[in-house]
Every structure is written in C-alpha cells, then in structure tokens.
Structure 1
Amino acid sequence: MQKRTAAAMVAAVVAMWAVGWTLGSSAGAENPGAAPVVPRITDPPEAPVPTTGTGRDPLTPTETARARELALAGLTHARPDGPTDVTGAAGPEVLTVRRADGDGTVRRAEVLAYDYRGDKLVKVAVDLTAGRVTGTFAATGMQPPATPREVATAVDLLWRHDLGNLMRERFRQATGVAPATTGELEPGAQTYTGEPCAVHRCVLLLLHRPGEPYVDLTDLIVDLSAGTVVRLP
C-alpha cells in the first residue's frame, strides 16, 4: 500500500512538471508581451584574400601593387631625364594594371602608363612569378581613358585658367548659380585626339553638379601635356 502511494505521488509530480514545462514553452505565444526566443546567427568569417592568383584569375591586390612597383622602378630609374607623371614628378602616370595571358604556370601582368615628358604611352610587361620586368614598349598617338588624378588635374587647370571664368558663367546661365569651388563639381572626362592635341594628352571635361544637367564645355580642351586650356574656334 505504501509503495503504491509513493509511486502515485512520484507520478503526480512528474505530471505537474510536464504541464509546467509545456506552459512555460508556450508562454511566449500566449503572452504577446513576452520577448520571442531568437536563435543566434553569426556571419561566417570572411575568407582571406589570396596574395597570388592562379590560372586565369584576375590579379590580386598584392599582385597589382607588385606589378606597379616593378614597372615604376624600371622606368623611373632608367635615366635622369626619364618619364614624368601628370604632376611633373618622376615616373610615368600609371593608367591601368591588368593580367596578361600566359601558359598558366607563370603569373604575368601588363602595366599601361603615360610618359608626360615624352608624350607617349608605355606598356611594361612584368613576370610576377620571377619578380622582374620582361619588356618595355612605347608608342605615340595612343590615348587610353584618363585616370581620376588626370581628371582632377584637368579640372584644376581649367578653374585657374582665364577660360575658367567662361566655364563658371556657363554654369550660371544653365543653372542660375556659378560654382564657388571645384568641390561642388562632379567631374568626368574623355580623351581628345583632334587638333591641336594630335600628340599631347588632352581631355574634354564633363562637368555638372549632382542632380543638375551637364554644362556644355565641348569647346574647351584641357591640354595636360602643356598644362593649359585651349578654346576651339
């Protein structure tokens, strides 16, 4: 009799515990004010960027920097009267660095740069696997797109030139307000190869303020090689 009573009491306690667990687990659903249980989710860790690519992979940031370094070292120290960049400093203006085709076992790159002293486009072939320059080629009359630094230099040249007053007046006529600083302008440019810039590196500026139309400046040519601005007839 005592064994049956003890067993009954144990069963009752277990039943009450089970009911309490059920009520507790559903309290959030029955009580709108209760904070929902949200599973913790963590972002997967970012994979490290490899220093060296393989096969036809694009150049990694490390490879790009290395190719640029090797190309500039070879060009800048070649001679005292070597190439200069758009600011007049030693070393050419690097335009782009891209992967060059190879046999898959050697990582190669091509560095395109512009020599403002000689007004020519320079291509430097780099063997990234061996860490050396394998060839340098130059040509005139070739004008790839301008770099952001070249565009910024062109905007500054126009702003400080006498023709900058004409540019500001056209903004006033088109938008009602002339720009007070170059910082108001959103710059863009395209290279220009017509006369009088058949040899020099020149650009046509595409300027506007955010949210406003572009202002026609197609008759104003910025000659980056000569550091001046020319108005077409």
Structure 2
Amino acid sequence: MRELARRHLGKLVATVALAVTGAAVAVGASLPDDTGGAGDAARAGASQQDAVAPAGKVEAAPAEGEKGVGRDPLTDAEIDRAGQLAVANNNLRRNARDVEGDRGPQHLSTNLTEIDPGLTGAGAAQRRADVVSYDYKSDSVVTKTVNLDTGKVEDTRTDQGVQPPPSQAELAEAAQLLIADRLGADLKSDYKDATGKQLTDAGQLQVSGMVFRKETVVKVPVGLTDCGKHRCLRVVAKVKSGPWIDTRALVVDLSERTVGRLS
C-alpha cells in the first residue's frame, strides 16, 4: 500500500446505464538538446512564432433552455425539477436515509426515460425522467419515473441486491471513512510523503471509484461478506495535482460504515 502510483491512470467506469468521473494527466518531459547552436536557433524561431501568433477566439456556449425537446438530453432545470418531484409528498423523503445518515434518499442519477412503445401521440411526446436513488435504511435502489410535463410520478421501482455506480457524494464519504479508519494509516502516510501535509479531509483528495463486487475476488474477508446486499465501494485516491495513492486493497462498506482489507 506504501507505493505511490506515479503512472497515468484512466478514468475508472462502472456502467449500468449510469456512470462516474476522472481524467488522464498529461505530463511533459524536457529533453536535452545536443544540436548546439542549431537547437538554440530553432527555439528562438519558435519563440518568435509564438509571439506573433494571433489569439484564438472562444465562442460562448449557447444558452440552455428550461426544457428540452424530443430526445434532447435533460436540461439542468429538468434535472432539478425531476429530483423535486421524485421526493415530493411521499414516504421516501421522510423514511429513507442518505449516505451520511440524514433524512431522504441518496441521489445517484437522473436520466431521460426510454420511450414506452405502448404510448402514442401526445403521451409519447411527453418528457419523462428516471430518478435513481439509494436508501441506506433499507439498502435498496429506488427508481422513480416522473413526467416532467404533468408533474406526476408515474412509476416507482424498488430493488435490493442491485448496485449502480456510485455518486460523487458516496465516493467522498467513503474516502472520509478511509481517512478515519486505522486501515487508512498508509493512505495518510503516503499523502504526507507526497505533500508534506496531514490528510484530514476527503476534500484534499481527487477521488473516483467503483462498486465492489465480491464475486470478483477469490477470498472475501469476513467483514465484507454482506457486500452486494450492502453498498460497498473501492476508492481510487489521488493527491490533487499530484500522484495516485494505491488504495485498491481497501473496501468501504457504506451501509455499515466500516472498512475492510482484501488479502
């Protein structure tokens, strides 16, 4: 665990019609010039070209409307409206719990609903969104289909044993639990080696990650046997503007708020 991974890592993605964030880091290398004066002249010419190069013009992004049309992606306004409709006047907001234990479900994603082939005419043209949340009280995924034109919740589906990709809020909470746990000692030590500073908060890290699926390992530690039923994540941690820290052996059970280590 005490190895700082200093190579490029791609974005880790787990797909269930949903997804998670991250980007590769490009590193420039400075090579010695063994061409003598010719190299100096070439660099001088390049500098002159850079000095006279005209500045590029960046076009402003077009203003986004309140509502999309047809199969347009959901607008920010539609996403906000769908989230409000999904928890309005129902027991989910009162009884469910989010990743921090607060009242209300943990939002995971909001996506444009696939067209129901049984709908025709005006009904088929209406805009609908699937709002996917996780209820940590019952360890279940709740999907509500809301009609953005009528403002009604048209369908509610509750599933257990289903684990969509994590939200950024869940990854941040998992990282915070790692930092607080004794198994996170190497993470904190590696961070100090890289930065000279103490690691006390998940906000100091750039985090990504994925759902831990116990069927992918040969031997599951005792503390992680409920993963799949529970919400368990593997976190990929990176020093902001710095190296990656190897945390692949650690798994956070967000349902139990515990940390386990893979052998």
Alignment TM-score > 0.5, same fold: yes
Aligned to 1:203: 233
Distance apart, 1:222 and its partner CA:
0.9
Aligned to 2:176: 156
Distance apart, 1:83 and its partner CA:
1.3
| Structure-2 change in CA distance of 1:49 and 1:159 (3 Å) | same
Q: How many pairs were matched up? A: 189
| Structure-2 change in CA distance of 1:131 and 1:231 (3 Å) | same
Aligned to 1:89: 102
Instruction: Give the structure, 1 or 2, with the largest relative contact order (CA under 8 Å, sep 6 or more).
Output: 2
Deviations 1:137-176 (A, max 9, x none): 0111221221111111111111111222232235567x58
User: AA paired with 1:229?
Assistant: V
Alignment of 1:1-233 (within 5 A): 48-75=63-90, 77=91, 82-102=95-115, 104-171=124-191, 175=194, 179-182=198-201, 183-194=203-214, 195-196=224-225, 197-233=227-263
Distance apart, 1:188 and its partner CA:
1.6
Larger Rg: 1
Deviates more, 1:101-110 or 1:51-60: 101-110
User: AA paired with 1:180?
Assistant: L
User: AA paired with 1:149?
Assistant: A
Deviations 1:95-148 (A, max 9, x none): 110111335421111011111111111110111111110111011122122111
Cα distance in 2 between the residues matched to 1:176 and 1:53: 45
SS in 2 for 1:163: helix
Give structure 1 stretches of 5+ with no counterpart: 1-42
SS in 2 for 1:69: helix
Cα distance in 1 between the residues matched to 2:71 and 2:105: 28
Distance apart, 1:74 and its partner CA:
4.8
TM-score (norm 1): 0.71
Give structure 2 stretches of 5+ with no counterpart: 1-57, 215-223
Preserved CA contact (<8 Å) 1:169 1:178: no
| Structure-2 change in CA distance of 1:225 and 1:135 (3 Å) | same
| Structure-2 change in CA distance of 1:79 and 1:106 (3 Å) | closer
Cα distance in 2 between the residues matched to 1:71 and 1:162: 38
TM-score (norm 2): 0.64
Query: 4+ runs of 1 displaced by more than 4 Å?
Result: 43-48, 170-173, 175-179
SS in 2 for 1:208: strand
Distance apart, 1:65 and its partner CA:
0.9
> Superposition RMSD on alpha carbons, in Å?
2.7
Cα distance in 1 between the residues matched to 2:242 and 2:71: 42
| Structure-2 change in CA distance of 1:107 and 1:230 (3 Å) | same
